[in-house]
Structure 1
Protein backbone atom coordinates (compact mmCIF):
# COMPACT_ATOMS: atom_id res chain seq x y z
CA UNK A 1 0.00 0.00 0.00
CA UNK A 2 1.32 3.44 -0.90
CA UNK A 3 2.34 5.63 1.99
CA UNK A 4 0.35 8.89 1.61
CA UNK A 5 3.12 10.87 3.28
CA UNK A 6 5.65 9.55 0.80
CA UNK A 7 3.71 11.28 -1.98
CA UNK A 8 2.86 14.53 -0.27
CA UNK A 9 5.70 15.03 2.18
CA UNK A 10 5.32 15.51 5.92
CA UNK A 11 1.86 16.50 7.07
CA UNK A 12 1.45 19.82 8.83
CA UNK A 13 -0.30 19.47 12.17
CA UNK A 14 -3.45 21.59 12.37
CA UNK A 15 -4.57 22.88 15.75
CA UNK A 16 -7.92 21.15 16.39
CA UNK A 17 -9.24 24.38 17.87
CA UNK A 18 -8.61 26.13 14.57
CA UNK A 19 -10.70 23.46 12.84
CA UNK A 20 -13.52 23.87 15.36
CA UNK A 21 -13.49 27.64 14.94
CA UNK A 22 -13.49 27.36 11.16
CA UNK A 23 -16.48 24.99 11.24
CA UNK A 24 -18.36 27.35 13.54
CA UNK A 25 -17.69 30.31 11.25
CA UNK A 26 -18.92 28.36 8.21
CA UNK A 27 -22.04 27.18 10.01
CA UNK A 28 -22.95 30.76 10.81
CA UNK A 29 -23.21 31.68 7.14
CA UNK A 30 -23.88 28.58 5.06
CA UNK A 31 -25.97 25.46 5.38
CA UNK A 32 -23.98 22.26 5.76
CA UNK A 33 -24.14 20.74 2.28
CA UNK A 34 -23.45 17.25 3.67
CA UNK A 35 -26.81 17.05 5.43
CA UNK A 36 -28.47 15.08 2.65
CA UNK A 37 -25.48 12.90 1.74
CA UNK A 38 -26.80 9.91 3.67
CA UNK A 39 -29.51 8.97 6.13
CA UNK A 40 -28.77 8.12 9.75
CA UNK A 41 -29.13 4.38 9.16
CA UNK A 42 -27.18 4.21 5.92
CA UNK A 43 -23.95 2.23 6.16
CA UNK A 44 -21.03 4.05 4.55
CA UNK A 45 -18.69 2.00 2.42
CA UNK A 46 -15.72 0.73 4.42
CA UNK A 47 -12.97 3.30 4.29
CA UNK A 48 -15.26 5.98 2.86
CA UNK A 49 -15.71 7.85 6.13
CA UNK A 50 -15.04 7.48 9.83
CA UNK A 51 -18.38 6.68 11.50
CA UNK A 52 -19.06 8.03 14.99
CA UNK A 53 -21.22 5.29 16.47
CA UNK A 54 -23.37 5.27 19.58
CA UNK A 55 -22.56 2.02 21.37
CA UNK A 56 -25.73 2.23 23.44
CA UNK A 57 -26.03 2.17 27.22
CA UNK A 58 -24.12 -1.05 27.86
CA UNK A 59 -25.82 -4.27 26.79
CA UNK A 60 -24.22 -5.44 23.51
CA UNK A 61 -27.67 -6.21 22.12
CA UNK A 62 -28.58 -2.52 22.27
CA UNK A 63 -25.98 -1.63 19.67
CA UNK A 64 -27.88 -0.86 16.47
CA UNK A 65 -27.70 -3.17 13.47
CA UNK A 66 -25.84 -0.52 11.48
CA UNK A 67 -23.42 0.08 14.32
CA UNK A 68 -22.71 -3.63 14.60
CA UNK A 69 -22.01 -3.98 10.88
CA UNK A 70 -19.51 -1.14 11.06
CA UNK A 71 -17.62 -2.27 14.15
CA UNK A 72 -17.41 -5.83 12.82
CA UNK A 73 -15.72 -4.50 9.67
CA UNK A 74 -13.35 -2.16 11.52
CA UNK A 75 -9.58 -2.43 11.61
CA UNK A 76 -9.26 0.23 14.32
CA UNK A 77 -11.85 0.96 16.99
CA UNK A 78 -11.28 4.06 19.10
CA UNK A 79 -13.67 3.63 22.01
CA UNK A 80 -14.75 5.41 25.19
CA UNK A 81 -12.88 3.13 27.58
CA UNK A 82 -14.84 1.51 30.40
CA UNK A 83 -18.00 3.38 29.36
CA UNK A 84 -18.30 0.84 26.54
CA UNK A 85 -19.02 -2.67 27.77
CA UNK A 86 -16.00 -4.92 27.23
CA UNK A 87 -18.42 -7.70 26.25
CA UNK A 88 -19.51 -5.59 23.28
CA UNK A 89 -15.91 -5.04 22.22
CA UNK A 90 -15.13 -8.74 22.48
CA UNK A 91 -18.31 -9.80 20.68
CA UNK A 92 -18.14 -7.47 17.71
CA UNK A 93 -14.59 -6.24 17.21
CA UNK A 94 -12.29 -8.86 18.71
CA UNK A 95 -10.10 -8.85 15.59
CA UNK A 96 -9.70 -5.07 15.43
CA UNK A 97 -7.07 -2.94 17.07
CA UNK A 98 -8.80 -1.27 20.02
CA UNK A 99 -7.66 2.03 21.48
CA UNK A 100 -9.28 3.71 24.48
CA UNK A 101 -9.81 7.45 24.13
CA UNK A 102 -9.59 7.93 27.90
CA UNK A 103 -6.77 10.31 28.77
CA UNK A 104 -6.20 11.35 25.16
CA UNK A 105 -6.82 14.89 23.91
CA UNK A 106 -7.79 16.02 20.42
CA UNK A 107 -4.15 16.63 19.55
CA UNK A 108 -3.54 12.90 19.95
CA UNK A 109 -6.89 11.47 18.80
CA UNK A 110 -7.21 13.35 15.53
CA UNK A 111 -3.82 12.32 14.04
CA UNK A 112 -4.40 8.76 15.26
CA UNK A 113 -7.69 8.42 13.38
CA UNK A 114 -6.62 10.52 10.40
CA UNK A 115 -3.41 8.59 9.76
CA UNK A 116 -5.15 5.22 10.09
CA UNK A 117 -7.89 6.32 7.67
CA UNK A 118 -5.38 7.63 5.14
CA UNK A 119 -3.43 4.37 5.40
CA UNK A 120 -6.54 2.58 4.13
CA UNK A 121 -7.71 1.15 7.45
CA UNK A 122 -11.38 1.02 8.41
CA UNK A 123 -11.64 3.30 11.42
CA UNK A 124 -14.59 3.47 13.83
CA UNK A 125 -15.08 5.95 16.65
CA UNK A 126 -17.25 4.28 19.29
CA UNK A 127 -18.96 6.52 21.84
CA UNK A 128 -21.10 5.36 24.75
CA UNK A 129 -24.87 5.90 24.57
CA UNK A 130 -25.66 8.25 21.71
CA UNK A 131 -23.02 10.68 20.41
CA UNK A 132 -25.61 13.49 20.41
CA UNK A 133 -26.00 13.45 24.21
CA UNK A 134 -22.91 14.77 26.00
CA UNK A 135 -20.74 12.91 23.53
CA UNK A 136 -18.19 15.60 22.53
CA UNK A 137 -18.30 14.07 19.06
CA UNK A 138 -18.71 17.19 16.94
CA UNK A 139 -15.36 18.69 17.87
CA UNK A 140 -13.64 15.51 16.74
CA UNK A 141 -15.66 15.38 13.53
CA UNK A 142 -14.96 19.02 12.70
CA UNK A 143 -11.25 18.51 13.32
CA UNK A 144 -11.17 15.41 11.11
CA UNK A 145 -13.17 17.07 8.33
CA UNK A 146 -10.72 19.99 8.47
CA UNK A 147 -7.98 17.43 7.82
CA UNK A 148 -9.88 16.11 4.80
CA UNK A 149 -11.29 13.01 6.51
CA UNK A 150 -15.06 12.49 5.97
CA UNK A 151 -17.15 11.52 8.98
CA UNK A 152 -20.68 10.35 9.64
CA UNK A 153 -22.90 9.67 12.66
CA UNK A 154 -24.68 6.45 13.59
CA UNK A 155 -27.10 7.07 16.48
CA UNK A 156 -27.31 4.88 19.56
CA UNK A 157 -29.60 4.19 22.51
CA UNK A 158 -29.03 6.75 25.26
CA UNK A 159 -29.05 5.71 28.91
CA UNK A 160 -32.29 7.57 29.69
CA UNK A 161 -34.14 5.21 27.36
CA UNK A 162 -32.49 2.15 28.87
CA UNK A 163 -33.39 3.42 32.34
CA UNK A 164 -36.98 3.95 31.26
CA UNK A 165 -37.13 0.39 29.94
CA UNK A 166 -35.69 -0.97 33.18
CA UNK A 167 -38.32 0.95 35.15
CA UNK A 168 -41.04 -0.33 32.80
CA UNK A 169 -42.38 3.16 32.27
CA UNK A 170 -42.39 6.07 29.85
CA UNK A 171 -40.55 9.35 30.21
CA UNK A 172 -43.72 11.07 29.00
CA UNK A 173 -47.08 10.11 30.50
CA UNK A 174 -50.48 11.71 29.99
CA UNK A 175 -51.41 13.84 32.95
CA UNK A 176 -47.97 13.40 34.54
CA UNK A 177 -45.15 14.53 32.25
CA UNK A 178 -45.51 16.30 28.93
CA UNK A 179 -41.82 17.12 28.61
CA UNK A 180 -38.41 15.53 29.07
CA UNK A 181 -35.24 17.42 29.98
CA UNK A 182 -31.77 15.98 29.43
CA UNK A 183 -29.45 17.96 31.68
CA UNK A 184 -26.37 17.89 33.90
CA UNK A 185 -25.51 19.52 37.23
CA UNK A 186 -23.21 22.43 37.87
CA UNK A 187 -19.56 21.67 38.38
CA UNK A 188 -16.26 21.98 36.57
CA UNK A 189 -17.90 22.03 33.13
CA UNK A 190 -21.17 23.82 33.95
CA UNK A 191 -21.34 27.17 35.74
CA UNK A 192 -23.97 27.58 38.49
CA UNK A 193 -25.96 30.07 36.42
CA UNK A 194 -26.26 27.47 33.65
CA UNK A 195 -27.64 24.78 35.97
CA UNK A 196 -31.40 24.66 35.26
CA UNK A 197 -32.32 21.48 37.15
CA UNK A 198 -34.38 23.43 39.68
CA UNK A 199 -36.31 25.15 36.90
CA UNK A 200 -37.13 21.86 35.20
CA UNK A 201 -38.27 20.26 38.46
CA UNK A 202 -40.31 23.34 39.30
CA UNK A 203 -42.33 23.03 36.10
CA UNK A 204 -44.03 19.96 37.55
CA UNK A 205 -44.80 18.11 34.32
CA UNK A 206 -41.19 17.51 33.27
CA UNK A 207 -39.25 14.27 33.61
CA UNK A 208 -35.75 15.50 34.43
CA UNK A 209 -32.95 13.14 33.40
CA UNK A 210 -29.58 14.07 34.88
CA UNK A 211 -26.47 12.83 33.11
CA UNK A 212 -22.88 12.98 34.38
CA UNK A 213 -24.05 13.82 37.87
CA UNK A 214 -23.81 10.69 40.01
CA UNK A 215 -21.04 12.16 42.13
CA UNK A 216 -23.05 15.35 42.67
CA UNK A 217 -26.42 13.85 43.66
CA UNK A 218 -26.28 14.91 47.35
CA UNK A 219 -25.26 18.48 46.51
CA UNK A 220 -27.83 18.74 43.72
CA UNK A 221 -30.64 17.57 45.98
CA UNK A 222 -29.54 19.96 48.74
CA UNK A 223 -29.84 22.85 46.29
CA UNK A 224 -33.32 21.71 45.28
CA UNK A 225 -34.37 21.62 48.93
CA UNK A 226 -32.87 25.05 49.54
CA UNK A 227 -34.88 26.36 46.58
CA UNK A 228 -38.08 25.11 48.21
CA UNK A 229 -38.87 22.06 46.10
CA UNK A 230 -41.08 19.39 47.63
CA UNK A 231 -38.79 16.98 49.53
CA UNK A 232 -41.15 14.11 48.68
CA UNK A 233 -40.66 14.54 44.92
CA UNK A 234 -39.74 11.09 43.55
CA UNK A 235 -36.16 10.51 42.43
CA UNK A 236 -34.99 7.28 40.83
CA UNK A 237 -31.35 6.43 40.15
CA UNK A 238 -30.51 3.69 37.66
CA UNK A 239 -26.90 2.61 37.93
CA UNK A 240 -25.34 0.98 34.85
CA UNK A 241 -28.63 0.75 32.96
CA UNK A 242 -28.74 -2.52 30.93
CA UNK A 243 -25.40 -3.80 32.34
CA UNK A 244 -25.24 -7.10 34.27
CA UNK A 245 -24.67 -5.18 37.54
CA UNK A 246 -27.56 -2.77 36.94
CA UNK A 247 -29.11 -1.38 40.13
CA UNK A 248 -32.17 0.77 40.83
CA UNK A 249 -32.54 3.08 43.83
CA UNK A 250 -35.93 4.69 44.44
CA UNK A 251 -36.17 7.55 46.92
CA UNK A 252 -37.06 11.24 47.09
CA UNK A 253 -35.30 14.56 46.79
CA UNK A 254 -34.83 14.43 50.57
CA UNK A 255 -33.42 10.91 50.76
CA UNK A 256 -31.74 9.96 47.47
CA UNK A 257 -28.40 11.57 48.31
CA UNK A 258 -27.84 9.40 51.36
CA UNK A 259 -29.10 6.30 49.53
CA UNK A 260 -26.66 6.73 46.65
CA UNK A 261 -23.79 7.51 49.01
CA UNK A 262 -24.53 4.36 50.99
CA UNK A 263 -24.54 2.35 47.76
CA UNK A 264 -21.12 3.74 46.90
CA UNK A 265 -21.97 4.97 43.41
CA UNK A 266 -19.94 7.89 42.13
CA UNK A 267 -20.40 7.53 38.36
CA UNK A 268 -22.31 5.76 35.58
CA UNK A 269 -25.82 6.33 36.91
CA UNK A 270 -28.80 8.10 35.35
CA UNK A 271 -30.90 10.24 37.71
CA UNK A 272 -34.61 10.57 36.95
CA UNK A 273 -36.64 13.18 38.83
CA UNK A 274 -40.41 13.18 38.57
CA UNK A 275 -43.55 11.08 38.87
CA UNK A 276 -43.16 9.35 35.49
CA UNK A 277 -40.50 7.03 36.91
CA UNK A 278 -43.08 5.70 39.39
CA UNK A 279 -45.94 5.51 36.85
CA UNK A 280 -48.30 7.15 39.34
CA UNK A 281 -51.44 9.09 38.45
CA UNK A 282 -51.22 8.93 34.70
CA UNK A 283 -54.31 9.24 32.50
CA UNK A 284 -55.49 7.04 29.68
CA UNK A 285 -54.38 8.35 26.32
CA UNK A 286 -56.69 9.50 23.56
CA UNK A 287 -55.00 7.15 21.09
CA UNK A 288 -56.75 4.02 22.36
CA UNK A 289 -59.88 5.70 23.71
CA UNK A 290 -62.82 7.47 22.08
CA UNK A 291 -60.52 9.25 19.66
CA UNK A 292 -59.49 5.92 18.10
CA UNK A 293 -63.08 5.13 17.13
CA UNK A 294 -64.13 8.61 15.93
CA UNK A 295 -67.56 7.40 14.89
CA UNK A 296 -67.74 6.70 11.17
CA UNK A 297 -64.02 7.34 10.70
CA UNK A 298 -63.34 3.90 12.15
CA UNK A 299 -65.09 2.26 9.19
CA UNK A 300 -63.94 4.48 6.33
CA UNK A 301 -60.39 3.19 6.12
CA UNK A 302 -58.81 6.10 7.97
CA UNK A 303 -55.71 5.05 9.89
CA UNK A 304 -56.16 6.10 13.51
CA UNK A 305 -53.26 4.11 14.91
CA UNK A 306 -50.33 6.45 14.39
CA UNK A 307 -51.42 9.70 15.98
CA UNK A 308 -49.71 11.21 18.99
CA UNK A 309 -51.36 11.05 22.37
Structure 2
Protein backbone atom coordinates (compact mmCIF):
# COMPACT_ATOMS: atom_id res chain seq x y z
CA UNK A 1 0.00 0.00 0.00
CA UNK A 2 1.28 3.45 -0.89
CA UNK A 3 2.55 5.82 1.82
CA UNK A 4 1.32 8.79 -0.24
CA UNK A 5 -1.75 10.17 1.53
CA UNK A 6 -3.03 11.60 -1.79
CA UNK A 7 -2.78 8.28 -3.64
CA UNK A 8 -6.11 7.04 -5.05
CA UNK A 9 -5.50 3.49 -3.81
CA UNK A 10 -7.42 3.87 -0.53
CA UNK A 11 -10.20 1.37 -1.18
CA UNK A 12 -11.82 2.11 2.16
CA UNK A 13 -12.50 5.67 1.01
CA UNK A 14 -13.34 4.82 -2.61
CA UNK A 15 -13.95 1.11 -3.26
CA UNK A 16 -15.57 1.83 -6.63
CA UNK A 17 -12.31 3.29 -7.92
CA UNK A 18 -10.53 0.11 -6.87
CA UNK A 19 -13.15 -2.02 -8.65
CA UNK A 20 -12.87 0.07 -11.83
CA UNK A 21 -9.07 -0.11 -11.77
CA UNK A 22 -9.13 -3.89 -11.33
CA UNK A 23 -11.56 -4.28 -14.22
CA UNK A 24 -9.33 -2.17 -16.44
CA UNK A 25 -6.29 -4.23 -15.45
CA UNK A 26 -8.06 -7.48 -16.41
CA UNK A 27 -8.70 -6.06 -19.85
CA UNK A 28 -4.95 -5.64 -20.27
CA UNK A 29 -3.94 -9.15 -19.24
CA UNK A 30 -4.48 -12.04 -16.88
CA UNK A 31 -3.32 -12.17 -13.30
CA UNK A 32 -0.11 -14.28 -13.25
CA UNK A 33 -1.41 -16.15 -10.22
CA UNK A 34 -3.84 -17.94 -12.56
CA UNK A 35 -0.87 -19.96 -13.76
CA UNK A 36 0.71 -20.49 -10.36
CA UNK A 37 -2.14 -21.90 -8.26
CA UNK A 38 -5.07 -24.28 -8.50
CA UNK A 39 -8.27 -23.93 -6.49
CA UNK A 40 -7.07 -26.34 -3.80
CA UNK A 41 -3.72 -24.70 -3.13
CA UNK A 42 -2.74 -23.00 0.09
CA UNK A 43 -2.11 -19.41 -0.87
CA UNK A 44 -0.99 -16.16 0.68
CA UNK A 45 -3.61 -13.61 1.67
CA UNK A 46 -7.25 -13.56 2.74
CA UNK A 47 -9.25 -16.56 1.52
CA UNK A 48 -12.89 -16.06 0.52
CA UNK A 49 -14.31 -19.36 1.70
CA UNK A 50 -17.62 -20.91 0.70
CA UNK A 51 -19.38 -22.08 3.87
CA UNK A 52 -21.68 -24.36 1.92
CA UNK A 53 -25.49 -24.41 2.05
CA UNK A 54 -25.91 -24.76 5.81
CA UNK A 55 -25.02 -28.14 7.31
CA UNK A 56 -21.54 -27.79 8.88
CA UNK A 57 -20.58 -31.20 7.45
CA UNK A 58 -20.93 -29.75 3.94
CA UNK A 59 -18.07 -27.34 4.52
CA UNK A 60 -15.03 -28.40 2.50
CA UNK A 61 -11.93 -29.77 4.18
CA UNK A 62 -9.97 -26.76 2.93
CA UNK A 63 -12.53 -24.38 4.42
CA UNK A 64 -12.52 -26.22 7.74
CA UNK A 65 -8.72 -26.07 7.99
CA UNK A 66 -8.63 -22.35 7.18
CA UNK A 67 -11.27 -21.55 9.80
CA UNK A 68 -9.40 -23.58 12.41
CA UNK A 69 -6.32 -21.39 11.95
CA UNK A 70 -8.16 -18.05 11.73
CA UNK A 71 -7.82 -15.14 14.13
CA UNK A 72 -10.66 -13.19 12.49
CA UNK A 73 -13.61 -14.59 10.55
CA UNK A 74 -15.84 -12.09 8.77
CA UNK A 75 -18.98 -14.06 7.94
CA UNK A 76 -22.32 -13.60 6.19
CA UNK A 77 -24.40 -13.33 9.33
CA UNK A 78 -27.48 -15.53 9.61
CA UNK A 79 -26.81 -16.91 6.13
CA UNK A 80 -24.06 -19.01 7.74
CA UNK A 81 -25.23 -21.66 10.19
CA UNK A 82 -24.29 -20.64 13.74
CA UNK A 83 -23.46 -24.28 14.45
CA UNK A 84 -20.72 -24.09 11.82
CA UNK A 85 -19.24 -21.01 13.49
CA UNK A 86 -19.41 -22.65 16.90
CA UNK A 87 -17.75 -25.84 15.69
CA UNK A 88 -15.02 -24.52 13.43
CA UNK A 89 -14.28 -20.98 14.64
CA UNK A 90 -13.67 -21.69 18.32
CA UNK A 91 -10.47 -19.64 18.58
CA UNK A 92 -11.39 -16.84 16.17
CA UNK A 93 -13.07 -13.50 16.58
CA UNK A 94 -16.22 -13.63 14.46
CA UNK A 95 -17.77 -10.54 12.88
CA UNK A 96 -20.96 -10.47 10.81
CA UNK A 97 -20.81 -8.56 7.54
CA UNK A 98 -24.59 -7.94 7.57
CA UNK A 99 -25.27 -4.21 7.63
CA UNK A 100 -21.69 -3.28 6.80
CA UNK A 101 -20.72 -1.67 3.48
CA UNK A 102 -17.40 -1.94 1.66
CA UNK A 103 -16.15 1.23 3.31
CA UNK A 104 -16.36 -0.56 6.65
CA UNK A 105 -15.51 -4.13 5.63
CA UNK A 106 -12.33 -3.37 3.69
CA UNK A 107 -10.41 -1.55 6.47
CA UNK A 108 -11.62 -4.13 8.99
CA UNK A 109 -10.06 -6.99 7.04
CA UNK A 110 -7.08 -5.02 5.79
CA UNK A 111 -6.03 -3.72 9.19
CA UNK A 112 -6.34 -7.13 10.82
CA UNK A 113 -4.35 -8.78 8.03
CA UNK A 114 -1.62 -6.12 8.15
CA UNK A 115 -1.41 -6.54 11.93
CA UNK A 116 -0.40 -10.15 11.32
CA UNK A 117 -3.73 -11.83 11.97
CA UNK A 118 -4.98 -14.75 9.90
CA UNK A 119 -8.19 -13.48 8.31
CA UNK A 120 -10.94 -15.51 6.62
CA UNK A 121 -13.88 -14.04 4.73
CA UNK A 122 -16.69 -16.60 5.02
CA UNK A 123 -19.48 -16.47 2.45
CA UNK A 124 -22.60 -18.63 2.37
CA UNK A 125 -22.81 -21.30 -0.34
CA UNK A 126 -20.10 -20.70 -2.91
CA UNK A 127 -18.57 -17.22 -3.25
CA UNK A 128 -18.70 -17.49 -7.06
CA UNK A 129 -22.52 -17.65 -7.15
CA UNK A 130 -24.22 -14.38 -6.19
CA UNK A 131 -21.57 -13.86 -3.56
CA UNK A 132 -20.49 -10.24 -4.29
CA UNK A 133 -16.99 -11.48 -3.46
CA UNK A 134 -15.04 -9.97 -6.34
CA UNK A 135 -15.73 -6.36 -5.39
CA UNK A 136 -14.31 -7.03 -1.92
CA UNK A 137 -11.33 -8.85 -3.38
CA UNK A 138 -10.61 -6.04 -5.84
CA UNK A 139 -10.77 -3.45 -3.07
CA UNK A 140 -8.45 -5.46 -0.82
CA UNK A 141 -6.00 -6.15 -3.63
CA UNK A 142 -5.81 -2.41 -4.35
CA UNK A 143 -4.71 -2.02 -0.73
CA UNK A 144 -1.93 -4.56 -1.24
CA UNK A 145 -3.78 -7.42 0.46
CA UNK A 146 -3.76 -10.61 -1.65
CA UNK A 147 -6.97 -12.67 -1.83
CA UNK A 148 -8.21 -15.95 -3.27
CA UNK A 149 -11.35 -18.08 -3.44
CA UNK A 150 -11.97 -21.43 -1.75
CA UNK A 151 -15.05 -23.04 -3.36
CA UNK A 152 -18.09 -24.19 -1.42
CA UNK A 153 -21.21 -26.25 -2.03
CA UNK A 154 -23.89 -24.02 -3.54
CA UNK A 155 -27.52 -24.35 -2.41
CA UNK A 156 -28.69 -25.66 -5.80
CA UNK A 157 -26.56 -28.77 -5.26
CA UNK A 158 -27.89 -29.24 -1.73
CA UNK A 159 -31.43 -28.87 -3.06
CA UNK A 160 -30.79 -31.53 -5.71
CA UNK A 161 -29.48 -33.87 -3.02
CA UNK A 162 -32.57 -33.28 -0.90
CA UNK A 163 -34.81 -33.92 -3.92
CA UNK A 164 -32.81 -37.09 -4.66
CA UNK A 165 -32.31 -36.13 -8.26
CA UNK A 166 -29.74 -34.70 -10.66
CA UNK A 167 -29.89 -31.25 -12.14
CA UNK A 168 -28.93 -32.82 -15.47
CA UNK A 169 -30.68 -35.94 -16.76
CA UNK A 170 -30.39 -37.47 -20.21
CA UNK A 171 -33.49 -36.80 -22.23
CA UNK A 172 -34.97 -34.51 -19.61
CA UNK A 173 -32.47 -31.79 -18.69
CA UNK A 174 -29.31 -31.21 -20.70
CA UNK A 175 -28.58 -27.79 -19.23
CA UNK A 176 -28.68 -25.92 -15.91
CA UNK A 177 -29.35 -22.21 -15.45
CA UNK A 178 -28.49 -20.33 -12.26
CA UNK A 179 -30.56 -17.17 -12.23
CA UNK A 180 -32.53 -14.67 -10.15
CA UNK A 181 -35.83 -12.83 -10.72
CA UNK A 182 -36.36 -9.21 -11.62
CA UNK A 183 -36.54 -6.73 -8.79
CA UNK A 184 -34.44 -4.12 -7.06
CA UNK A 185 -31.16 -5.55 -8.37
CA UNK A 186 -32.26 -6.97 -11.73
CA UNK A 187 -34.22 -5.00 -14.34
CA UNK A 188 -37.22 -6.66 -15.98
CA UNK A 189 -35.50 -6.88 -19.36
CA UNK A 190 -32.66 -8.84 -17.76
CA UNK A 191 -34.99 -11.44 -16.20
CA UNK A 192 -34.59 -14.52 -18.43
CA UNK A 193 -36.37 -17.11 -16.30
CA UNK A 194 -39.13 -17.64 -18.88
CA UNK A 195 -36.53 -18.04 -21.63
CA UNK A 196 -34.74 -20.76 -19.71
CA UNK A 197 -37.91 -22.65 -18.76
CA UNK A 198 -39.31 -22.37 -22.27
CA UNK A 199 -36.32 -24.28 -23.65
CA UNK A 200 -37.75 -27.39 -22.02
CA UNK A 201 -34.52 -29.24 -21.31
CA UNK A 202 -33.11 -26.74 -18.82
CA UNK A 203 -33.22 -27.09 -15.05
CA UNK A 204 -33.72 -23.53 -13.84
CA UNK A 205 -32.42 -22.78 -10.34
CA UNK A 206 -33.64 -19.48 -8.93
CA UNK A 207 -31.54 -17.82 -6.24
CA UNK A 208 -32.58 -14.83 -4.13
CA UNK A 209 -36.17 -15.05 -5.26
CA UNK A 210 -38.18 -16.68 -2.48
CA UNK A 211 -40.17 -13.50 -1.84
CA UNK A 212 -41.04 -13.24 -5.53
CA UNK A 213 -42.13 -16.83 -6.28
CA UNK A 214 -45.87 -16.08 -6.74
CA UNK A 215 -45.21 -13.10 -9.02
CA UNK A 216 -42.55 -15.02 -10.95
CA UNK A 217 -44.87 -17.97 -11.55
CA UNK A 218 -47.66 -15.64 -12.69
CA UNK A 219 -45.29 -14.07 -15.22
CA UNK A 220 -44.27 -17.49 -16.50
CA UNK A 221 -47.90 -18.38 -17.19
CA UNK A 222 -48.47 -15.01 -18.84
CA UNK A 223 -45.47 -15.65 -21.09
CA UNK A 224 -46.85 -18.99 -22.25
CA UNK A 225 -45.03 -21.46 -19.98
CA UNK A 226 -46.94 -24.70 -19.41
CA UNK A 227 -48.65 -24.30 -16.00
CA UNK A 228 -48.01 -27.99 -15.31
CA UNK A 229 -44.21 -27.59 -15.44
CA UNK A 230 -42.80 -29.18 -12.24
CA UNK A 231 -41.41 -26.89 -9.52
CA UNK A 232 -39.78 -27.62 -6.17
CA UNK A 233 -38.93 -25.12 -3.46
CA UNK A 234 -36.34 -26.23 -0.91
CA UNK A 235 -36.31 -23.92 2.09
CA UNK A 236 -33.03 -23.80 4.06
CA UNK A 237 -31.49 -26.69 2.14
CA UNK A 238 -29.46 -28.92 4.52
CA UNK A 239 -30.40 -26.87 7.64
CA UNK A 240 -32.20 -28.56 10.57
CA UNK A 241 -35.44 -26.75 9.63
CA UNK A 242 -35.25 -27.68 5.94
CA UNK A 243 -38.62 -27.90 4.21
CA UNK A 244 -39.61 -29.05 0.73
CA UNK A 245 -42.60 -27.80 -1.25
CA UNK A 246 -43.42 -29.41 -4.58
CA UNK A 247 -45.96 -28.46 -7.20
CA UNK A 248 -46.20 -26.83 -10.58
CA UNK A 249 -45.82 -23.38 -12.06
CA UNK A 250 -49.56 -22.97 -11.48
CA UNK A 251 -49.62 -24.09 -7.84
CA UNK A 252 -46.28 -23.40 -6.16
CA UNK A 253 -46.98 -19.69 -5.59
CA UNK A 254 -49.93 -20.46 -3.31
CA UNK A 255 -47.94 -23.16 -1.52
CA UNK A 256 -45.06 -20.89 -0.64
CA UNK A 257 -47.40 -18.11 0.46
CA UNK A 258 -49.23 -20.54 2.73
CA UNK A 259 -45.89 -21.65 4.20
CA UNK A 260 -44.90 -18.03 4.81
CA UNK A 261 -41.38 -18.30 3.40
CA UNK A 262 -39.91 -15.03 2.14
CA UNK A 263 -36.20 -15.84 1.92
CA UNK A 264 -33.55 -18.57 2.02
CA UNK A 265 -35.18 -21.02 -0.40
CA UNK A 266 -33.93 -22.52 -3.65
CA UNK A 267 -36.52 -22.71 -6.44
CA UNK A 268 -35.95 -25.47 -8.99
CA UNK A 269 -38.03 -25.62 -12.18
CA UNK A 270 -38.07 -28.36 -14.80
CA UNK A 271 -38.47 -32.06 -15.47
CA UNK A 272 -35.45 -32.94 -13.34
CA UNK A 273 -37.50 -32.01 -10.26
CA UNK A 274 -39.47 -35.23 -10.43
CA UNK A 275 -36.74 -37.25 -12.15
CA UNK A 276 -39.34 -38.77 -14.46
CA UNK A 277 -39.06 -39.86 -18.10
CA UNK A 278 -35.29 -39.57 -18.34
CA UNK A 279 -33.15 -41.76 -20.56
CA UNK A 280 -30.39 -44.11 -19.52
CA UNK A 281 -26.95 -42.59 -20.00
CA UNK A 282 -24.20 -44.08 -22.11
CA UNK A 283 -21.91 -44.45 -19.11
CA UNK A 284 -22.96 -48.02 -18.29
CA UNK A 285 -24.13 -48.98 -21.77
CA UNK A 286 -22.81 -51.80 -23.93
CA UNK A 287 -20.06 -49.58 -25.38
CA UNK A 288 -18.19 -49.78 -22.04
CA UNK A 289 -17.06 -53.34 -22.84
CA UNK A 290 -15.76 -52.47 -26.28
CA UNK A 291 -12.08 -52.26 -27.04
CA UNK A 292 -10.09 -49.05 -27.36
CA UNK A 293 -9.93 -49.45 -31.15
CA UNK A 294 -13.69 -49.25 -31.56
CA UNK A 295 -14.51 -45.82 -33.03
CA UNK A 296 -17.93 -45.81 -31.42
CA UNK A 297 -16.28 -46.09 -28.01
CA UNK A 298 -14.51 -42.78 -28.64
CA UNK A 299 -17.82 -41.12 -29.45
CA UNK A 300 -19.41 -42.61 -26.36
CA UNK A 301 -16.48 -41.43 -24.25
CA UNK A 302 -17.22 -37.87 -25.27
CA UNK A 303 -20.81 -38.43 -24.22
CA UNK A 304 -19.68 -39.66 -20.80
CA UNK A 305 -17.90 -36.41 -20.07
CA UNK A 306 -21.13 -34.55 -20.77
CA UNK A 307 -23.09 -36.79 -18.44
TM-score bracket relative to the smaller structure: over 0.9
Which of 66, 69, 73 is 1:73 aligned to?
A: 69
Q: Deviations over 1:145-183 (max 9, x none)?
A: 000000011000000000001111100000000000000
CA RMSD of aligned residues (A): 2.1
Query: Structure 2, unaligned stretches of length 5 or more?
Result: none
1:270, CA displacement in angstroms? 0.2
For residues 95 and 33 of structure 1, what CA distance do their matches in structure 2 show? 34
Compute the TM-score of the two structures, normalised by the length of structure 1.
0.92
* Corresponding residue for residue 230 of structure 1: 226
Q: Which runs of 4+ in 1 moved over 2 A?
A: 8-14, 296-299, 302-309
* Corresponding residue for residue 34 of structure 2: 35
- 214-223 or 10-19, which moves further after superposition? 10-19
Q: Residues 230-309 of structure 1: matches in 2 within 5 Å? A: 230-294=226-290, 296-297=291-292, 307-308=304-305, 309=307
1:298, CA displacement in angstroms? 9.9
Contact 1:49/1:151 (8 A) holds in 2:
yes
Which of 107, 111, 114 is 1:115 aligned to?
A: 111
* Corresponding residue for residue 97 of structure 1: 93
Compute the TM-score of the two structures, normalised by the length of structure 2.
0.93
Q: Residues 8-157 of structure 1: matches in 2 within 5 Å? A: 13-14=10-11, 15-44=14-43, 48-157=44-153
1:120, CA displacement in angstroms? 0.3
1:43, CA displacement in angstroms? 2.1
Q: Deviations over 1:82-120 (max 9, x none)?
A: 000000000000221100000000000000000000000
3-state SS in 1 of match to 2:221: helix
For residues 270 and 199 of structure 1, what CA distance do their matches in structure 2 show? 19
Q: Deviations over 1:114-152 (max 9, x none)?
A: 000000000000000000000000000000000000001
For residues 10 and 89 of structure 1, what CA distance do their matches in structure 2 show? 38
Query: Structure 1, unaligned stretches of length 5 or more?
Result: none
1:37, CA displacement in angstroms? 2.8
The number of residues matched between the two structures is 298
